Amino acid sequence: MIRRYLARCGTIASLLFALMVTWSAAHAVELPRAISAAIDVAGEHFSAKQYELAAQSYEKALLLGEETWGKDFAALAPILDALGRTFEKMFRTVDAENAYRRAFPLWEKLRGPDHPDVADSLMRLGGIERDKGNFAAAEPLFRRALAIREKALEPDDFNIANALNSLGSTLVDLAKYEEPEALFRRALAIVEKTSGPDHTDVSTILEQLALLYAEQGRKADAEQLLLRSLNISTKHGETDPEGLARTYNAAAGMFVDIGDYDRALNAMRKSLGILEKELGPDHPKVATAVANLGLVYDGLEFFTIAEALYEQALEIERKYYDENHPRFLVSQENLASLYVEMGRYDEAEKLFGKVLDARVKIYGDVHPILISSLSNFAYMYADYGMLDEALSLIELATTIAILRAGEAADPSSEATRLELESLGGNFVLHARIAAELAKWNMIQKERAIEGAFGASQLGINTAAATAAARTVARFATGNTTLAATVRDRQNAARRRDEIDAELRKAAAQMPEKRDEAALQGLREEFNGLQKVLDETDIKLATEFPLFSNLMRPLPVKVKEVQRLLGADEALLLWLVGRKEVYLFAIRKEETGLIHIDITKDELEQAVSALRTSIVPSATDEQLPAFDLNGAHDLYKTIFAPADEILSGANHLITVLDGPLQSLPLGVLLDGPPTDAATRQGYENEPWLTRKYAISVHPSVSSFAMMRSLDIMAPAPNPFTGIGDPILSGHPGDRRGIPVFSAFTTSEVDLDALRSMPPLPETADELRAIAQSLGVGNDALILGKRATESRVMATDLSQSRVIAFATHALVAGEISGVSEPALVLTPPAGRKKGDDGLLTASEIARDLKLNADWVILSACNTAAGDKPGAEGLSGLAKAFLFAGARALMVSHWPVDSTAATQLTTGAFRAMEEDPLVSRAEALRQSMVGLMTDLSVADYSHPYFWAPFIVVGEGGTNR
């Protein structure tokens, strides 16, 4: 963008000459020929990259000007700026800063405070501060420059884009991640419009936006942007080789993040080769490339090569930076981490300490870069066996993460959640250090487990947890009007995040593939929603100050969990790391932290194998033989280590992470399988379901808030049941079928929807539930009445229990409309607001519930259909957001008859004993079905194990 600025002004010499002539004419002062000659010579040297000679000529011109007019003569400003720019090229940063600072008041005097030339001066000062690592000082300079340019220039002027990009990059440096995305998007739109989609400045902005996404953990979005940036830079490789090298460098970082070191090595070698050719071997940009190449070799465990490269980079950087410069600190920290891998702890300790001290001075106390420094330092001490020191450092790192989460402008936003998700490795390290220390240091055990428990909660901050927090926050108002305000605010935030996702996707596309008019509408809607959110937050801060606290994803203390647990309850939280798993087991009077020696990949394979042995494949209706040995082996690995702590517990409250979210734990075996030679079925196996009632919470905080907060008065009506839609296909025994044929490219294929199998038994299921709850058939919406428009018109906030018994369409299998949905009676013809489907987005946006329990007696409503899927399904999250405090949802397509028996059996158990909890009622129903010998196959977990209770399963309210 500097090149663009110079192009606008012409050569430095002609710019200076024009300004001096203008000033001379206005003040009847003749420009001495010696000054103009010196300026001309300086410009020629600058163009030839002879910066030492250029500086000498500019200094000569400056001295002559001072002798002629005095040091405060305003028209000396452009000479000072040209001199400063030359000093920058020579890496004489202090001299450049002095020149720019002296020039700035002269520009204001020459042009007035709101002239674009003053903005240019501010940009130069901001650039100097940013280069020094003084990001806090750079921010206000860039903000003022942007404000001047926006006022003085046309909206699409590329100088506005330049200021937007510089401000956004500085905010990323400051870890202020809320604002930069919108700034980069504006800059991108301007440059694409004024310069075309393939301009090198487009590539620069795409890289900055990708860096932001990478910092937030949005790796897929970052990758798409970098691929487009690389495509652009490759086209301009001959005219802008440095730009191509920069993009190769960014791409290499992306490849390292995903573990593709071969591609990273190739990209980094290309980057370094270009820079050495263009800049020579001793340039700071070459040092950065050398250091990054070292990072790749470090990841490949070629430690000797990596060390040599790190040392080479530091040797170059010492010529240009002081030892507290941010760039120099990065190289030092990389070398320190390498020393740890090589067992050179003394050397690593010195470097880590030096880097940490310097970064605190530069960034303050709560910047996320300190989390990295502290975690690396803690890892070193842990690796060396100094666990007390390691614990102290990792606790500080976690504290910073907690503070950042608590101080986020919108703690419930996707950006905040993803930032925490990106720190998952740090939270696993905290658990590792605490688990090891707790084995032998009983004095520190309680403190160690407490801190690690908090860190682990941050590491499992899922979208479902956010949905649950929003529900609790809404109900905690105790005021219907205020609850409506909270709901409106949450709907606006949800819609803002949807638009944000669309705009991220568009940024990676070429302009000709976008609908610019639609995107402009989305940008305007985004800005309007943000304004609504800001105004609503001010109102809530006054009328409902508890709201912001409820929405902040802060960890719950162990003692608070213990206070809320019953004597026969236990809370289990699994934190899944890349190389190991940690289990927290909390009872009323006891707490344990257990290291489990299994990698994430191994756990995913074990869960996947169990699911494969449960659910028939799409091409084979035959029930697979259940992997009993695999179920027992997985129990021994992830559950048995907590057996002693769990003695006497009947209800397990579980918070699941990673692959475990895709499996109902009740299918595990807590003992060896029975003899296969004598087994007729599976009814006598030691299923975990026989021993424990199990409920699932999205987070520890959702469990604590559900139990500890007073919520709105219960809904007056006991029950509403919705199901038995009018469908005309061949009767089947499963709820849910492959759904790719049900959609055209943009709208529902009503004929395909109607051809789904009818489910007449769901009417009997809903009638049985209604009877157990003491209500009549008037509480049911069945058959031709079970339409989307009818459901939307019904005030479901008046019902304590709501059941949907129908087909569910699974997210990810849909062409065109890619979100999960419940099937209702299709309309006779196309009808606005009624396409026969109740989608997840419609549930979250339009349904307003005050439900103790929502039953989704359909298929695949619990979690993703493969290990590693993020948390709960879209339907489950939607109902949590809409106002459900507990759900009954399924992990796979359910057998319709079995589903009817499971749901009605659970409600029958609660009818017979009002003190029976939801989780216990479902457990009793599952045991009853598995031991029902009238149907031989019912002992297979496919029939009895699909449902889980999500949310409050330990009480009926």
* CA–CA gap between residue 943 and residue 902 (Å, rounded): 9
Residue 461 φ then ψ, to 5°: -90, 80
- Long-range (24+ apart) CB contacts under 8 A made by 57-64 are 58/82, 58/83, 58/86, 59/83, 61/16, 61/35, 64/32, 64/34, 64/35, 64/38
pLDDT of 865 higher than 80: no
Q: Taking residues 149-162, what's their average pLDDT?
A: 95
Do residues 709 and 472 make contact, with C-beta atoms less than 8 angstroms apart?
Answer: yes
Tokens of 247: 């993009």
Whose CA is closest to 669, among 639, 625, 624? 639
pLDDT at 300 exceeding the cut of 80: yes
For residue 30, the number of C-alpha atoms closer than 13 Å in the C-beta half-sphere is 3
Query: Which pLDDT tens digit goes with each residue over 376-410?
Result: 999 999 999 999 999 999 999 999 988 887 766 56
pLDDT by residue (tens digit) across 331-371?
Answer: 999 999 999 999 999 999 999 999 999 999 888 888 889 99
Whether 588 shows a pLDDT value over 70: the answer reads yes
The values of phi and psi at residue 933, to 5°, are: -80, -5
pLDDT at 26 over 60: no
Same fold, 558-697 and 701-951: no
Nearest to 233, CA basis, from 278, 282, 277, 198: 198
Average pLDDT over residues 833-851: 86
Q: How far apart are the first and last CA of the chain?
A: 61
Q: What are φ and ψ of residue 599, in 5° steps? A: -80, 165
Q: What pLDDT is recorded for position 364?
A: 85
pLDDT exceeds 60 at position 744: no
For position 743, what pLDDT does the model report? 34
Question: What is the pLDDT at residue 106?
Answer: 93
Residue 174 pLDDT > 70: yes
5, pLDDT greater than 60:
no
Q: Average pLDDT in the 541-566 region?
A: 75
Domain parsing of the chain, residue ranges? 464-551, 558-697, 701-951
Please list, residue by residue across 506-531, b when 16 or more beta carbons sit within 10 angstroms of its beta carbon and e when fewer do.
bbbeebeeeeeeebeebbeebeebbe
Determine the pLDDT at residue 814: 36
Residue 494 or residue 545, greater confidence: 494
**Other residues' Cβ atoms within 10 Å of the Cβ of residue 52:** 10
Mean pLDDT across the chain: 85
617 or 673, which is more confident?
673
Distance CA(150)–CA(377), nearest Å, equals 45
Q: Are 149 and 157 in contact (CB under 8 A)?
A: yes
State how far the Cα of 467 lies from the Cα of 473, in Å rounded to an integer. Answer: 10
Q: Which pTM value belongs to this model?
A: 0.81
Report, as an integer, the average pLDDT of 280-295.
95
Q: What is the pLDDT of residue 737?
A: 41
Determine which of 127-136, 400-409, 479-488 has the lowest per-residue pLDDT on average: 479-488
Comparing 545-554, 750-759, 904-913, which segment has the lowest mean pLDDT? 545-554
Burial class (CB in 10 A: 0-12, 13-18, 19+), 358: buried
632 or 39, greater pLDDT = 632
Report the pLDDT value the prediction gives residue 872, as an integer from 0 to 100. 60
255-264, 539-548, 714-723: which has the highest mean pLDDT? 714-723
pLDDT of residue 420: 79
Whole-number pLDDT of residue 741: 34
Q: Which of 207-216, 240-249, 810-819 has the lowest mean pLDDT?
A: 810-819
CA quadruple 129, 135, 141, 146: dihedral sign: positive
- For the residues 582-597, what does the mean pLDDT come to? 97
Q: Tokens in use for 508? A: 């990676």
DSSP string, 85-106: HHHHHTT-HHHHHHHHHHHHHH
In this model, does residue 509 exceed pLDDT 90? no
Residue 91's Cα: distance from chain center in Å?
A: 38
CA 871 to centroid of chain Cα atoms: 13
CATH architecture of the region 701-951: 3-Layer(aba) Sandwich (3.40)
Which pLDDT score is estimated for 746?
47
CATH of 558-697, one of 3.30.1490, 3.40.50, 3.30.420, 2.20.180: 3.30.420
